[in-house]
Structure 1
Amino acid sequence: MWLPILGLILGLVIGWFSPFSVPVEYSKYLSVAILAALDSVLGGIRAAQENHFDSVVFLSGFFTNILLAGILAYVGDRIGVDLFLAAVVAFGVRLFNNLAIIRRHLLQKRIL
């Protein structure tokens, strides 16, 4: 359970201190990719709390979600429709659902 959290914290620290900047043209793609990655991480934490975490499922879901979100944003740009908003809504709903379930698990264990 701590591996996804450690990876998230490590990624945030590296990203915060790295001098890398993303061009404005790619900000839509990066934003939906980060949202998809966060969704996968929270889904992994939830699965670990429910004792059915599988690293193959986690990694395949992680990269598939990022790829699908990026493709959706790209296709939307090509046809002139903001399709990335569909990914933002879908992953946003899943993020809040996973976070609520994680919070309930932690409350049951009296950690929060």
Structure 2
Amino acid sequence: MILLPLFALLVGAVLAYVLKVGPIPGKEGQYMAVACLAGLDTICGGVRSGLEGKFRNDVFITGFISNIAIAFFLAWLGDNIYLNLFLAVALVLAMRIYTNLSLIRRIALTAWTDRQEKLRLQALAQSLQNHSDGQG
């Protein structure tokens, strides 16, 4: 089910383009930015867990909702106590996104090199088999 997070991201991007959603002014724009970062973090985590073979729909959906709610709450709380927590929340979420993306890259690269090595060994075994059949 690795395609679910990617499909959700694509649907959201298409809806934003079709509905011609522009910049959101004021504090609402900051809250929306934090919510988008939290959602993107969850999507990257979902892709990562899918590549690791650990993806579960229930964990993804509850994580998506709770990550957005927690990020939104922290930003709102900071706004109400006159402490700019938007930057702290954005920094933590960006760090998690970069970490997940680097792990996704590493997993994909490892899978690709493993597949290349397997194909090389199969070709070598086939070559040895053909060579031994020719001598027999």
Q: Give the TM-score taking structure 2 as reference length.
A: 0.76
Query: How far apart are 1:97 and its partner, in Å?
Result: 0.4
TM-score normalised by length of structure 1: 0.92
Deviations 1:63-98 (A, max 9, x none): 111001111111111111111222111111110000
Please give the secondary structure, in 2, of the residue aligned with 1:108.
Answer: helix
11-20 or 77-86, larger mean C-alpha shift: 11-20
Gapped regions of structure 1 (runs ≥ 5) = none
Match of 1:107 in 2: 109
1:11 paired residue number: 12
Task: Report the AA paired with residue 59 of structure 1.
Answer: I
Q: Percent identity over the alignment?
A: 37
Matched with 1:65 is 67
Residue type of the alignment partner of 2:6? I
Runs of 4+ in 1 over 6 A off after TM superposition: none
Structure 2: gaps (5+ residues): 114-136
Map residues 1-112 of structure 1 onto 2, 5 A cutoff.
1-21=2-22, 22-110=24-112
Superposed CA RMSD in Å reads 1.4
The range that moved more, 15-24 or 79-88, is 15-24
Number of residue pairs aligned between Structure 1 and Structure 2: 111
